[in-house]
C-alpha cells in the first residue's frame, strides 16, 4: 500500500508526501488540513478508484479504470469561513479533479457534494473519445454526521452517475474538527454496521488513535433445554456473548436466543448442548462427570461464519468451568468468561446450567459461583485501593499511548 500524506507547509499551501511504499498498487490518501493558527480543521484518510465509460469516435463505448492516484496534488483545500464550509480539493493524473464540500447544520455536519472531473482530451487515457473536454459530475451525497464525530467506513461505498463509478473505502473523515483535536468518537456508515449480517457485532476494537470501543450491550438471556424422549435432561439459561479475535481485532457477537436453534444429547457420563444460528454452524458445550459426584464444562467446539466470509472453527476439550455437585445446578449471575482459546472466548451473563439429573424439567438447588458470593463483602476496601491505583496506571498509560500514537501518526 502506498500512503500519501497531504499536509500543510507554511507559505506554500499543501505538500504531498509519499509515506509508505508497498508491492500492491493501492493508494491511500491522508489529508490533515489546518487553519491559520495551525489547528486541524479537517482530517481525512481514504482510498478511492474510478471507472469511466466513454463513447469513442466509432460509436462504441470504452471503459477505463483509474486506480492510480499516485500523482495527487492538493490545491485549494480550505477550512472554509463563516460563509463557506470546508472543502477537499484534489487533483491527480492529467486533468482529474475530485472535490468534496462540507456544510454545518447543527447538531450535524454534512458531506455535501462530491464532484469528479475528467478530461477526455487526454489521448493516452481516453483514446478516440468522441466528445473531448473537461467533464464534471456532481453528486449530492448529503451524508449526515454528528458534529465532533469522525465518520468511518471500511466498506466499499459506490457512487454511480453518468457512466462514472466512484469507489471509496477505508474512509475516515471529520470536518469541523473542534479545538484542533480529531475526535475519537466514530460514526460508522450503515455498510459497516450491516456488514455484520444477522448477529449484531457490537464493536471491533483496533488499537489506533481514532477508534474507541463503544459500550457493549448485554446479550439477551435465553433458556435452552435438551430432552431425552419426553424428559428434559439438560437445562441452560444464559446470555451468551462470543468474542472472536483475529489480527488483533475483536468481534463481539451477542447470541439472540430467539433465532438460535438448540439440539443436544444426554448420557450418564456426558451431556452436550449444541446451539446454531444463521452464522453459527455449531456451538457445542460438552459437560462431563468427575469423581462420580461433580459435573463441569469440559469441552467447547465452535464453527462460525465471519463477516469477512471466512469460517472460524476452534475446539478445546480440556476445559474446567462451571463445576458443581451432581444433582444440583451451577449458577453465576455475574459476567463470567470461558476462555476457549487465545482467539475465542465466551462471556456469560445470568448463567444457570444443569447438564445432569434434571428432575421434572426444573433446576435443582444451585451452587453459586464465587463471584456472586457474599464473601465479596470482605474485599471492597482492598479493591478500592487497588482500583484507585489501577485508574492512575491506566490514565498514565493512556497519556503515554496518546503521545505515542500522535507521533506514530507522523510516520504512518
Residues that bind ligand NAG (CB under 6 A): 10, 32, 34, 37-38, 40, 43, 49, 51, 53, 56, 58, 60-63, 65, 67, 84-85, 95, 97, 101, 103, 112-113, 115, 117, 119, 127-128, 134, 136, 138, 156, 162-163, 167, 169, 182, 216, 220, 228, 243, 245, 250, 252, 256, 258-261, 265-268, 276-278, 345, 347, 406, 409
Q: What is the nearest approach in angstroms of ligand NAG to the Cβ of residue 267?
A: 5
The DSSP letter of residue 209 is: T
Query: For residues 117 and 196, which CB has a smaller minimum distance to ligand NAG in the complex?
Result: 117
Q: How far is the CB of 363 from ligand NAG (least distance, A)?
A: 19
% helix, strand, coil for the chain, step of 5: 10, 55, 35
Q: Measuring CA to CA, which residue among 286, 284, 285, 282 is closest to residue 304?
A: 282
State how far the alpha carbon of 107 is from the alpha carbons of 103, 110, 148, 186, in Å: 11, 10, 9, 15
| Contact by Cβ (8 Å): 262, 285 | no
Residue among 374 and 411 whose Cβ is closer to ligand NAG: 411
Could you give the 3-state DSSP secondary structure of residue 140?
strand
* Nearest distance, CB of residue 386 and ligand NAG, angstroms: 19
Euclidean distance between CA atoms 320 and 108, whole angstroms: 51
Closest distance to ligand NAG from the beta carbon of 177 (Å): 9
Q: Which is nearer to ligand NAG, 246 or 367 (CB)?
A: 246
Alpha carbons 186 and 183: distance in angstroms, whole number: 8
Nearer of residues 70 and 136 to ligand NAG, judged by Cβ: 136
The grid cell for 36 is 491559520
**Phi and psi of 149, rounded to 5°?**
-110, 150
Of the pair 57, 310, the CB lying nearest ligand NAG is at 57
> Coil, strand or helix: which one is 400?
helix
Residue number of the CB atom closest to ligand NAG: 261
Nearer to ligand NAG, 73 or 167 (CB): 167
Query: Cβ closer to ligand NAG: 49 or 333?
Result: 49
Q: How far is the CB of 302 from ligand NAG (least distance, A)?
A: 14
CB contact at 8 A, 66 and 49: yes
Question: How many Cα atoms are found within 13 Å in the side-chain-facing hemisphere of 100?
Answer: 19
Q: How far is the CB of 208 from ligand NAG (least distance, A)?
A: 11
Cell of 151: 465518520
- In angstroms, give the least distance from the CB of 51 to ligand NAG: 5
Cβ atoms of residues 378 and 354 within 8 Å = no
Amino acid at each position: 500500500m502506498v500512503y500519501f500524506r497531504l499536509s500543510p507547509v507554511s507559505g506554500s499551501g499543501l505538500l504531498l508526501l509519499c509515506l509508505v511504499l508497498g508491492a500492491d498498487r493501492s493508494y491511500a490518501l491522508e489529508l490533515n488540513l489546518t487553519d491559520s493558527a495551525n489547528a486541524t480543521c479537517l482530517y481525512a484518510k481514504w482510498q478511492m478508484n474510478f471507472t469511466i465509460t466513454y463513447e469513442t469516435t466509432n460509436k462504441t463505448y470504452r471503459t477505463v479504470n483509474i486506480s492510480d492516484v499516485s500523482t495527487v496534488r492538493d490545491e485549494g483545500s480550505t477550512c472554509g469561513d463563516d460563509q463557506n464550509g470546508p472543502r477537499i480539493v484534489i487533483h491527480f493524473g492529467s486533468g482529474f479533479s475530485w472535490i468534496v464540500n462540507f456544510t454545518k447544520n447543527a447538531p450535524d455536519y454534512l458531506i455535501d457534494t462530491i464532484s469528479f472531473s475528467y478530461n477526455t482530451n487526454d489521448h493516452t487515457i481516453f483514446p478516440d473519445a468522441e466528445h473531448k473536454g473537461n467533464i464534471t459530475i456532481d453528486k449530492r451525497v448529503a451524508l449526515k454526521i454528528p458534529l465532533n464525530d469522525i465518520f468511518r467506513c471500511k466498506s466499499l461505498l459506490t457512487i454511480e452517475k453518468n457512466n462514472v463509478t466512484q469507489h471509496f473505502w477505508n474512509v475516515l473523515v471529520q470536518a469541523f474538527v473542534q479545538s484542533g483535536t480529531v475526535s475519537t468518537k466514530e460514526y460508522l456508515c450503515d455498510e459497516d454496521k450491516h456488514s455484520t449480517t444477522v448477529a449484531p457485532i457490537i464493536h471491533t476494537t483496533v488499537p489506533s488513535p481514532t477508534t474507541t470501543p463503544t459500550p457493549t450491550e448485554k446479550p439477551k438471556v435465553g433458556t435452552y433445554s435438551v430432552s431425552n424422549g419426553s424428559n428434559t435432561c439438560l437445562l441452560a439459561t444464559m446470555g451468551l456473548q462470543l468474542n472472536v479475535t483475529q489480527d488483533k481485532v475483536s468481534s463481539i457477537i451477542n447470541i439472540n436466543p430467539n433465532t438460535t436453534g438448540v439440539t443436544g444429547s444426554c448420557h450418564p457420563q456426558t451431556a452436550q448442548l449444541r446451539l446454531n444460528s444463521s452464522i453459527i454452524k455449531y456451538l457445542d458445550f460438552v459437560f462431563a462427570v468427575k469423581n462420580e459426584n461433580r459435573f463441569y464444562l469440559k469441552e467447547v467446539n465452535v464453527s462460525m461464519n465471519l463477516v469477512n466470509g471466512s469460517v472460524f472453527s476452534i475446539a478445546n476439550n480440556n476445559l474446567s468451568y462451571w463445576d458443581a455437585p451432581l444433582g444440583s445446578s451451577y449458577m453465576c449471575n455475574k459476567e463470567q468468561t470461558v476462555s476457549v482459546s487465545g482467539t475465542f472466548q465466551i462471556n456469560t451473563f445470568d448463567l444457570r446450567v444443569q447438564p445432569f439429573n434434571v428432575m421434572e424439567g426444573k433446576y435443582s438447588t444451585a451452587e453459586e459461583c464465587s463471584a456472586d458470593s457474599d464473601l465479596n463483602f470482605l474485599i471492597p476496601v482492598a479493591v478500592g485501593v487497588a482500583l484507585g491505583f489501577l485508574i492512575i496506571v491506566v490514565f498514565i498509560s493512556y497519556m503515554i499511548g496518546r503521545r505515542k500514537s500522535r507521533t506514530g501518526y507522523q510516520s504512518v
